[in-house]
A and B are shown apart, each in its own frame.
Chain A
Amino acid sequence: MSQPTQELLSVKNLAISFNSKDTCTKAVQGISFSLCKGKTLAVVGESGSGKSVTALSLTRLLPKPPTCAVSGEILYNGQNVLQYNAKQLQGIRGKEIAYIFQEPSTSLNPVYTIGNQIAEAVRLHLPQISDVKQYVVDALGKVGIREPHERYDAYPHELSGGMQQRVMIAMALACQPNILVADEPTTALDVTIQKQIMDLLKEIRSQRTMSILLITHNFGIVSDFADEVIVMFRGKIVEQGPTHEILTNPKHLYTQALLDCIPRLGQKQKRLRTIDYSKLEVNS
């Protein structure tokens, strides 16, 4: 905290392996990055590249049976999360590091009202608040839900996808975390709703100094939103640096290939470029 760089979270040489039958497969290895206060770091890569695994490991949310070995260091405020006991973990999950997931309809509990679900987190992490209901209603209002008082008693299925994602954001922000991990927050949403949600996150980010770890495969969002980018391929970081630099002058073959295969508005090509994986194999 007293460090001049204001590194809030730093991951050093992280490696995670999963059990499959009787072998141990490495899902990610050699992951090192740091997240500074008030900054946004984007993680991009294809599915299976280890983006989500990295994000979940930050508060050790990966289920134990398939996970067989985790090595390296995850330093949050100078302390290694990998050595935390259950109680210490409970203290940072949701309170210090909060998550928003891709699919709001499956991450909300269908049998509880949305108000109740947010209140649960607030009661657990902020016991000093006496009027929890009012606090939750305010939290819902802040993420742009109209008539939050009435919506408090709504069930998830009564809300649209965009509204559900707002509820997820309200829940994640209710305990005022220092780090927000957004795991593909808009992938399941329409472009217009995506814009609303990203605008909302921008607004929240500017209101308080919160760091965001944004996982996405949408380069448009990255260029619009992130300060720095990490590009992952097959469990390893192949390139990292400031957003502008990565997007305009990618050094690694994979980053170049990934940027090339995006169809761009107003630039009609005959064919889309695809990634030649065999070439990458040789180079990496």
Chain B
Amino acid sequence: MESNSDRLLEVKDLAVHFPIRKGIFKRIRGYYKAVDGVSFVVKRGTTVGLVGESGSGKTSIGRALVKLTSVTAGTIAYQGDDVTELSPKQFFPYRKQIQMIFQDPFNSLNPRMTLYAIIAEPLEIHFPHWDKQKKRDRVAELLQKVGLSADQMGRYPHQFSGGQRQRIGIARALAVEPEFIICDEPVSALDVSIQAQIVNLLQDLQEELGLTYLFIAHDLAVVEHISDYVLVMNKGKIVEQASAEEIYSNPQDPYTQKLLEAIPVV
């Protein structure tokens, strides 16, 4: 929070390696380098797009940032504080500030929980002293914010369409008033028409709440649309990073050029 207050997140030489185990004793025979020496900065109030093919390490970065995957090397600084080595208990306050939206709205919502239970769960964890009425009001407010209605609170996820479920996922992420949201392919599973609605919703929320996004996707057109700054990943490394305009008008790296050329144009 001190000098570089506009640098919300700073990642330096981040590496995430997964052990490859072989043989009957499952000895470690090598490492798969999912993320290998990645550095970038996310400025407050901006959207950083992260693109690359599947297996390039995009999701591993997202998961490492919220400590869902252990970090092999490098540092992650959040608002200037190094959070890389923090224990789960020490990291707890940061969880409130960093939230995640997942790709598949069909698998990321518990089918046995009502909408209220899904959205109130993070509230119960982070605001245990809130009474029932306060939680109810907050859930109703969140549902309205993402374009659903408060009287749908008692329903279950299967009663909603894919686009609506993604809205529920967004409401859950917003519940604890985060500053930073990692969107891991939030629109890849949706139709183009629904994709446009969700992208617009994310942009409206950013404007209203001053959110910062890390937007992970493989659709370059969507990333160009939503991002201020773009990181292109290939095989665990960032091969190019620049402002959205620059990447698309003047791609430098051969891999970026290949990605752009692969898109069929309407």
Contact = CB atoms under 8 A, between A and B. Distances in A.
A binds B: yes
B196 A266 contact: no
Interface in B155-202: 162, 191-197, 199-200
A259 B266 contact: yes
Given A47-B162, A190-B218, A192-B258, A265 B263 contact: yes
B220 interface: yes
Interface in B110-151: none
B38 interface: no
Contacts of B225: 263, 268-269, 272
Contacts of A274: 193, 196-197, 200
Contacts of A158: none
Nearest to B52: A190
Interface residues of A, number: 37
A189 to B, nearest CB: 8
Contact of B266 (A220, A257, A272): A220
B265 A258 contact: no
A271 B226 CA distance: 9
B53 A192 contact: yes
B248 interface: yes
B119 to A, nearest CB: 24
B260 interface: yes
A262 B264 contact: no
Contacts of A192: 53, 258-259, 262
Contact of A272 (B53, B199, B245, B263): B199
A18 B192 CA distance: 26
A37 interface: no
A111 interface: no
Given A259-B266, A265-B265, A268-B225, A217 B191 contact: yes
B224 interface: yes
Contact of A262 (B203, B249, B262, B266): B266
Contact of A268 (B162, B224, B260, B266): B224
Interface in A231-284: 247, 257-259, 261-266, 268-269, 271-275
Contacts of B224: 263, 265-266, 268
A145 interface: no
Interface of B: 53-55, 162, 191-197, 199-200, 203, 218-222, 224-225, 244-245, 248-249, 258-266
Interface of A: 46-47, 160-161, 190-195, 198, 217-225, 247, 257-259, 261-266, 268-269, 271-275
